[in-house]
Structure 1
Amino acid sequence: MARIVVLGGTGYAGRHIVAEAVNRGHEVIAVSRSTPSDAVQGASYVQGSALEKGSLASAFDGADAVVSALSPRGDMTDRVLDALRVVIAELDGARTRLGVVGGAGGSLVAPGGPRLFDLDFPEEYKHEAQVGIDSLALLESTDESLDWFFVHPAEVFGPWAEGERTGHYRDGGDVIVRDDEGKSFISGADFAVAVVDEIERPAHRRARFTVGY
Structure 2
Amino acid sequence: MARVVVIGATGHIGTYLVPRLVRLGHNVVAVTRGTSKPYLPDPAWSQVESIALDRDALERQGSFGSTIANLQGDVVIDNICFTLDSARQLVEALKGNVQHFLHIGTIWTHGLSEVVPTPEDVTKRPFGEYGIEKAAIEAYLLDLARRENFPATIIHPGHIVGEGWAPLNPAGNGDLAVFETIARGERLELPNIGMETVHHIHADDIAVLLIQAMTNWRAATGEAFHAVSPGAVTLRHYASSIFRYFGHEPNLAFAPWEEWKSRQTEENANATWDHISRSPNCSIEKGRRLLGYAPRYSSLAAVEESLAWLVANGRLRT
Report the TM-score when normalising by structure 1.
Answer: 0.71
> Counterpart of 1:31 in structure 2: which amino acid?
V
For the residues of structure 2 that align with 1:13 and 1:129, how far apart are their CA atoms?
A: 19
Deviations 1:21-49 (A, max 9, x none): 12322111111222443473322111223
CA spacing shift, 1:198–1:100, aligned 2, 3 Å: same
CA spacing shift, 1:116–1:187, aligned 2, 3 Å: farther
* Partner residue, 1:185: 200
Report the aligned-residue RMSD: 2.6
Structure 2 residue ranges without an equivalent (≥5) = 169-196, 230-318
Aligned equivalent of 2:93, options 90, 100, 104: 90
Aligned equivalent of 1:151, options 146, 155, 158: 155
Alignment of 1:43-82 (within 5 A): 43-48=48-53, 49=55, 51=59, 52=63, 53-59=65-71, 61=72, 63-72=73-82, 80-82=83-85
For the residues of structure 2 that align with 1:92 and 1:209, how far apart are their CA atoms?
A: 22
> Counterpart of 1:152 in structure 2: which amino acid?
H
Q: Is 1:209 equivalent to 2:259 in the alignment?
A: no
Shift of 1:183: 5.8
Query: Do the aligned partners of 1:57 and 1:90 also contact (CA within 8 Å) in 2?
Result: yes
Query: Do the aligned partners of 1:8 and 1:71 also contact (CA within 8 Å) in 2?
Result: no
Deviations 1:12-71 (A, max 9, x none): 223332222123221111112224434733221112236224223331x1x221011015
For the residues of structure 1 that align with 2:17 and 2:133, how far apart are their CA atoms?
A: 20
Aligned equivalent of 1:42, options 14, 39, 47: 47
CA spacing shift, 1:190–1:41, aligned 2, 3 Å: farther
For the residues of structure 2 that align with 1:185 and 1:10, how far apart are their CA atoms?
A: 20
For the residues of structure 1 that align with 2:125 and 2:97, how far apart are their CA atoms?
A: 34
Query: Do the aligned partners of 2:214 and 2:220 also contact (CA within 8 Å) in 1?
Result: no
> Counterpart of 1:204 in structure 2: which amino acid?
A
> Counterpart of 1:138 in structure 2: which amino acid?
Y
Q: Of Structure 1 and Structure 2, which has the larger fraction of its residues in helix?
A: 2
- Please identify, of 32-41 and 128-137, the stretch whose mean Cα deviation from structure 2 is larger: 32-41
Query: Do the aligned partners of 2:142 and 2:152 also contact (CA within 8 Å) in 1?
Result: no
For the residues of structure 2 that align with 1:26 and 1:140, how far apart are their CA atoms?
A: 26
* Partner residue, 2:9: 9
> Counterpart of 2:68 in structure 1: which amino acid?
L
Deviations 1:159-203 (A, max 9, x none): 4239xxxxxxxxxxxxxxxxxxx7622100111110011112222
For the residues of structure 1 that align with 2:222 and 2:74, how far apart are their CA atoms?
A: 16
* Partner residue, 1:166: none
Q: How many residues align?
A: 177
Q: Is 1:161 equivalent to 2:170 in the alignment?
A: no
For the residues of structure 2 that align with 1:56 and 1:117, how far apart are their CA atoms?
A: 30
Shift of 1:210: 0.8
CA spacing shift, 1:210–1:98, aligned 2, 3 Å: same
Secondary structure of the 1:199 match is helix
Shift of 1:3: 1.1
Secondary structure of the 2:220 match is coil
Q: Is 1:140 equivalent to 2:152 in the alignment?
A: no
- Please identify, of 8-17 and 183-192, the stretch whose mean Cα deviation from structure 2 is larger: 8-17
Query: Do the aligned partners of 2:69 and 2:97 also contact (CA within 8 Å) in 1?
Result: no
Structure 1 residue ranges without an equivalent (≥5) = 73-79, 119-125, 163-181
Secondary structure of the 2:51 match is strand
- Please identify, of 88-97 and 193-202, the stretch whose mean Cα deviation from structure 2 is larger: 88-97
For the residues of structure 1 that align with 2:198 and 2:87, how far apart are their CA atoms?
A: 31
Secondary structure of the 1:37 match is coil
Secondary structure of the 1:160 match is coil
Shift of 1:113: 3.4
